[in-house]
Amino acid sequence: MFTGIVEEMGAITSLEKTLAGTRLTILASVVMGDLKIGDSVSVNGVCLTAVLIGERDFSVEVSPETLSVTTLGLLTAGTPVNLERAMKLNERIGGHLVAGHVDGVGTIRSRHQDGNAIFFTIEAPPEILRYCVPKGSITVDGISLTINEVTERGFGVAIIPHTAKVTTLGVKQVNDSVNLESDLIGKYVERLLQERSQLPKSTPVIDKDYLQKRGLI
C-alpha cells in the first residue's frame, strides 16, 4: 500500500525488453535509503517489485499485461518517473490509501494557470468516473489529488507549485497520458451494496447526488 505522496522523481536509465516482459532500471536517491530486493515501489502509480539494487539505481520487472494497461509501455530512457516506497503503518498518511493497481489510463485535455496553481482537466474512462466525486480522492501517476469537479467525460484537479516542482505533473502537457487509480473506499462500498442487493449488478455512476437520494450520506 502507498499514500500517493511522491518521495522523489527518478529517471529511467535503461529498458531491457524480452518476450517475457521488460526490465526497467531507475536512477534514484531518496528511495534507495532502505530499499531491499523484494520491496514494493510505486513507479508512476504502478506497484512494482525491486529485483536488483545498485549503488544509485534499482531495477524492476514489468509484465506484458502491466505494459498494456498502464503508461509504462511509453517510457524511454531519460523519462522522469514518480517514486514512492510502500507506506509504514506507524507514519502519517498524507494522501489517501493507494494500492498501486492502476484502473485505467487518462488523457490530459487542458492545462491552465489558476492563481498559484495549475488546473488540469483529465479525460477518463467510465469505469473510473463512476467512483469520482467532487472533493474525493484520485491517484494520477502515483500522486494523491483532490477532485475539484466531475464532468461526463472527465474530472478536474489542481496542483500547487510544490507538487509541480517535485512530480512529473509539472512537465505534463495537453494530450499526455497518465495512470489513474480510483479511491479504494468507493470500490468497497459499491461491492458491499451489490452483495446486499441494494445495487443492480450494472451500476450507474455513484456520485454525491446518488448517495444522498438513498440516504447514504
- Report pLDDT digits (tens) over 54-102: 999 999 999 999 999 999 999 999 999 999 999 988 888 899 999 999 9
User: How far out from the chain centre does Cα 22 lie?
Assistant: 20
Give me the CATH code for the 8-85 domain, please: 2.40.30.20
Does an H or E element contain 47, and which? strand 46-53
- Over residues 12-35, mean pLDDT: 93
Give the model's pLDDT for residue 199. Answer: 55
Q: pLDDT value at position 203?
A: 57
Task: Write out the residue limits of the CATH 2.40.30.20 domain(s) in the chain.
Answer: 8-85, 104-187
Give the C-alpha separation, 58 to 35, whole Å: 9
Residue 155: strand pairing partners: 122, 150
Instruction: Name the CATH code of domain 104-187 (choices 2.30.40.10, 2.40.30.20, 2.60.40.10, 3.40.30.10).
Output: 2.40.30.20
Structure confidence at residue 90 (pLDDT): 86
Position 204 scores a pLDDT of: 61
Q: Quick check: 44 and 141 in contact, CB under 8 A?
A: yes
pLDDT band at 189, cuts 50/70/90? Answer: confident
What does the block give as the cell for 175?
494530450
